[in-house]
Amino acid sequence: MSGNYLAGPQGLLWSINARAVLDVVDREGPLGRPEITRATGLSKTTVAQTLRELVARGVVEEAGADTTRRGPAATLYRVAPRCALALGVDIGHLRVRAVLVDAVGETLAQAETEAPRRRVADTAAAVTALAAECAGRAGTETGAIGQAVVGVPAVVARDGRTVRRAYGLPQGGRGLAEAIERDLPVPLLLENDVNLAAVAEQRFGACADVADFVLLGLGVGLGAGIVLGGRLHRGFAGGAGEVGFLPHPATELGTEVLGARRIAEQARQAGIEGRPSPREIFESARGGDERALAVVDATARRIAHVAASIALVIEPELFVLGGAFGASADLLLGRIRRHLARDAAPLPIRIIASGVPGDAVLRGAAWLARHRARERAFAAVVGGRPYDTDPAGSEEGDIA
Amino acid sequence: MSGNYLAGPQGLLWSINARAVLDVVDREGPLGRPEITRATGLSKTTVAQTLRELVARGVVEEAGADTTRRGPAATLYRVAPRCALALGVDIGHLRVRAVLVDAVGETLAQAETEAPRRRVADTAAAVTALAAECAGRAGTETGAIGQAVVGVPAVVARDGRTVRRAYGLPQGGRGLAEAIERDLPVPLLLENDVNLAAVAEQRFGACADVADFVLLGLGVGLGAGIVLGGRLHRGFAGGAGEVGFLPHPATELGTEVLGARRIAEQARQAGIEGRPSPREIFESARGGDERALAVVDATARRIAHVAASIALVIEPELFVLGGAFGASADLLLGRIRRHLARDAAPLPIRIIASGVPGDAVLRGAAWLARHRARERAFAAVVGGRPYDTDPAGSEEGDIA
DNA sequence: GAGTAGGTCGGAAAGTTTCCTACTCGAGGT
DNA sequence: ACCTCGAGTAGGAAACTTTCCGACCTACTC
């Protein structure tokens, strides 16, 4: 249903063809007309006309000439970088980070600040301040941003605005979204941080060609970013992937199998003093600390257990360790695989470490923001998208 | 990827429009031209031309006239029932059933026989014999069948041919598919029976407008048919929904939480004599037998547990009780809801009884076979489907 | 007579083919 | 070492084809 064209006038054909040209140019980078002609199957006359029109409308621009071939130089075309600006934000527990990117994914500016602890208004103010800082450095205004995506450690409803079950964030409902929008009047989308990490994994990491995978991420809680058929699966109310509460033989129902708190508790039980963070425990384990290693092993066992449960439900092709787990994959992967083998999971389970360098949540947020900003700019130019030219390219699902 | 048109010549426009007309006629039943014109947004000239062509190609036919309006009678059009025949088969534990339907879903013939117990060849022979019987009664030949879908109590790989982990069926790998095809040379697809029940639920039952739901079915084992975004989710190797092995606090890892065997074992523990089937136990419970009621309650508790686990992973909008559970929903639903409430599942869970009358697996098989046969016939006439006009209508997923 | 179904014709829109020009590289001759 | 010419390529213009649409017309029924 929704935006699908039923049938249409001839103009529809131009939309389809323009979209095809645009997608090819977008995907393959700067491209000469002959390549576009070959890739789309259109005649060169049509390609030429379409490109002229796309350039006139500002979404495509010339980008030098290709002189590698013999014959006259071919004009190269690329997506106009400035046709869509996008802002990605990662609201973490310690820091709030923001990045401003253009339509081709180039980073224009970055900024970060310490995470406010208490009030929603402070968090929103931090976000808008970072946005303004980025815009300033990039020489534009925040109003030029076509889409902002903000990653939060919480369950976000499918409207992309309502926040539930926030970890460390106020449970503000729609408060955060509304507070941000007051000072940053651009299209805004909140998204669960683990989901964004999964998007990053799909776009920049190890899952470029994997249609079905699950990213297991450790923040305060344990979360799963689930990608099925190349699209993010959010669940009916955005609660899919809250696997931290999956029942485990060794824990009571309704309590967390795994999460920062659980790891801390295990550390206490193992006799580790102080209140080390998971990251610090993994660090000690890497140094050979026996008690820390025990905690790591217990953690690995629980991850294996969670993965096995998830696999029985949706059988993804691949599991990926991200978040704090990703950084400790060297310690965890082998142990997880051993536990999986020992418990004789009914299905073979592949599990690997994240392949995303840097802040995956931030990169995922920026990618999604860029994708949506660009999609909107493209749709304005070539008309509503009649169909998915690139199925793997639209994981936005049902978010309006 | 796949069948998505990138761009095309003018002919593409005809394909799109013809497809739109076809879909409207298909969905809304016999329809006059003016309605088709309104529904598609095309001009009446184009609709007339397109219909002429579709009739000439045999997928649409005239179906009387509509004289309810004043003015001249409007010619009605419908999908030609004979443009695609489809065979649905349900290989159950006791019976093998088959039904032959035409392109508009009308039942042409039905047949059933006792399920062979041992050899793959016998099962295949039963299927082909039923197919021949149906074809004979309908006055055609088996060769005229455009698609056969066979439901089996087993995990079926995404090729729709390879069988793994069969319950009560030989583990034949591709043996069954190949044996059937030897005598029934038509496009064949094997599919997990619970998945087919889910398809039936979506098409004829309680989930017509639910994009994400999970059907819990009890056969020999416990299986889940998972529909996400209106499409069946099969998993990487067809193993999604094998939730019978989900870990449960009260059972060892690697053993079944729930299934016919588990219920039988509980019945024995409860002191019930003989070896009653689950159905018989539910029957006794309905009669007030205390021991049977205890088994029912334990079953309800396990179902609640499994549903809660599934919900934490994918958060569907709805759970549906099918199979033997569906028939006993009166006993189970209240108890399941009570257990869900008591265990304080983190998410609200809606669970209802199946709304499909009769053999859901058979109806799902017939629907899927009809859908695929029709899709193939349509594609041959209007050219490859350029895009999904009806997203909810194509749950065939990745099966070639 | 008003309203509706269906048909026909000419125009408009879009894409393709064909032909043409201009440009560059490289091979071979001088 | 320089020149010439052929092959291959990029870009553009005109004529043609396909397809859809709007307008007009006829026929039918209440």
The residue to which tokens 């940053």 are assigned: A184
One domain, residues A28 and A153: no
CATH number at A334 reads 3.30.420.40
A36–chain B Cβ distance below 8 A for any pair: no
pLDDT value of residue B204: 95
Q: Is residue B16 within 8 Å of B385, Cβ to Cβ?
A: no
pLDDT value of residue A386: 42
Nearest chain A Cα to B309, which residue? Answer: A246
CB of A70 nearer than 7 A to strand D: yes
Is residue A299 a part of any domain in this protein?
yes
Return the closest nucleotide (C1') to the Cα of B74.
C5
Q: Is residue B4 within 8 Å of A388, Cβ to Cβ?
A: yes
Choose one of A24, A45, A79: the last residue of a domain.
A79
Terminal Cα distance for chain A, rounded: 13
Mean pLDDT of A100-125: 93
pLDDT digits (tens, 9 = 90+) for A298-354: 888 888 989 999 999 999 999 999 987 778 888 899 999 999 988 766 678 999 999
List the domain range (segments joined by +) for residue B262: 208-353
User: For residue A7, is pLDDT > 80?
Assistant: no
pLDDT value of residue B399: 33
pLDDT digits (tens, 9 = 90+) for A342-352: 876 667 899 99
pLDDT value of residue A197: 96
User: For residue A93, is pLDDT > 90?
Assistant: no
Taking the CA of residue A68 and the C1' sugar atom of nucleotide C30, their distance in angstroms comes to 30
CB of B46 nearer than 7 A to strand D: yes
Mean pLDDT of A193-206: 95
Nearest by CB to residue A312, choosing from B12, B246, B392, is B246
- From chain A, the residues in CB contact with B13 under 8 A are 8, 10, 12-13
Q: What are phi and psi of B42, to 5 degrees?
A: -80, 165
- From chain A, the residues in CB contact with B310 under 8 A are 313
Q: How confident is residue A397, by pLDDT bands cut at 50, 70 and 90? A: very low
- From chain B, the residues in CB contact with A310 under 8 A are 313
Is residue A5 a part of any domain in this protein?
no
Number of structural domains in chain A: 3
Is residue A202 a part of any domain in this protein?
no
One domain, residues A20 and A118: no
Q: Is residue B151 within 8 Å of B362, Cβ to Cβ?
A: yes
Mean pLDDT of A198-208: 95
Radius of gyration, alpha carbons of chain A: 23
Is residue B203 a part of any domain in this protein?
no
One domain, residues A231 and A295: yes
One domain, residues B37 and B68: yes
DSSP letters spanning A350-364: -EEE----S-HHHHH
Nearest by CB to residue B7, choosing from A6, A41, A238, is A41
Nearest chain B Cα to A387, which residue? Answer: B387
Is residue B398 a part of any domain in this protein?
no
In angstroms, the CA B245 to CA B282 distance is: 23
Is residue B15 a part of any domain in this protein?
yes
One domain, residues A153 and A63: no
pLDDT value of residue B348: 85
Inter-chain residue contact A317 with B4, CB threshold 8 Å: no
Is residue B395 a part of any domain in this protein?
no
From residue B30, give the alpha-carbon distance in Å to each of B40, B76, B374.
Answer: 15, 6, 17
Q: 293-322 in B: which are within 8 Å (CB) of A?
A: 305, 308-317
One domain, residues A251 and A321: yes
One domain, residues A294 and A324: yes
Is residue A22 a part of any domain in this protein?
yes
- From chain B, the residues in CB contact with A389 under 8 A are 4, 6
Q: How confident is residue A3, by pLDDT bands cut at 50, 70 and 90? A: very low
Please tell me the least confidently modeled range out of A205-209, A284-288, B127-131, B197-201.
Answer: A284-288
Closest CA to A233 of A216, A218, A206, A214: A214
From residue A392, give the alpha-carbon distance in Å to each of A210, A230, A397, B159, B194.
Answer: 10, 5, 11, 21, 28
Q: Is residue B43 classed exposed, middle or buried when 0-12, 13-18 and 19+ CB atoms within 10 A define those classes?
A: exposed
Nucleotides of C under 7 A from a protein CB: 2-10, 12-18, 22-26
Give the closest-approach CA distance of B268 to chain A in angstroms. Answer: 24
To the nearest whole number, what is the mean pLDDT of chain A?
A: 85
Please state, as a whole number, how many other Cβ atoms lie within 10 Å of the Cβ of residue A31. 23
Taking the CA of residue B17 and the C1' sugar atom of nucleotide C11, their distance in angstroms comes to 21
Inter-chain residue contact B229 with A308, CB threshold 8 Å: no
One domain, residues A140 and A185: yes
Contacts for B117 with CB less than 8 Å, ≥ 6 apart: none
* Residue B74 one-letter amino acid: A
pLDDT value of residue A8: 64
- From chain B, the residues in CB contact with A306 under 8 A are none
B257–chain A Cβ distance below 8 A for any pair: no
Mean pLDDT of A229-237: 93
Q: Is residue A180 within 8 Å of A150, Cβ to Cβ?
A: yes
Choose one of B79, B110, B138: the last residue of a domain.
B79
One domain, residues B100 and B183: yes
Angle, helices B44-56 vs B33-40, to 10°: value is 110
Return the closest nucleotide (C1') to the Cα of B43.
D21
In angstroms, the CA A153 to CA A221 distance is: 9
CATH number at B25 reads 1.10.10.10
pLDDT value of residue B202: 96
One domain, residues B50 and B113: no
One domain, residues A228 and A330: yes
Nearest by CB to residue A41, choosing from B6, B23, B247, is B6
The residues of chain B scoring below 70 in pLDDT are 1-8, 166-172, 248-260, 344-346, 384-400
Contacts for B101 with CB less than 8 Å, ≥ 6 apart: B85, B86, B87, B88, B107, B108, B366, B369, B370
pLDDT value of residue A252: 53
Q: How confident is residue A255, by pLDDT bands cut at 50, 70 and 90? A: low
pLDDT value of residue A225: 96
Choose one of A49, A79, A109: the last residue of a domain.
A79
Q: In chain B, what's the furthest Cα-to-Cα distance?
A: 75
Nearest by CB to residue B313, choosing from A237, A314, A317, is A314
Taking the CA of residue B373 and the C1' sugar atom of nucleotide D1, their distance in angstroms comes to 73
Calculate ∠ Cα A90-B313-B334, nearest 5°: 135
Please give the share of chain A, as a percent, with pLDDT higher than 70. 87
Inter-chain residue contact B13 with A12, CB threshold 8 Å: yes
One domain, residues B225 and B327: yes
Give the closest-approach CA distance of A400 to chain B in angstroms. Answer: 15
Inter-chain residue contact A6 with B308, CB threshold 8 Å: no
Which tokens belong to B147? 């698609």
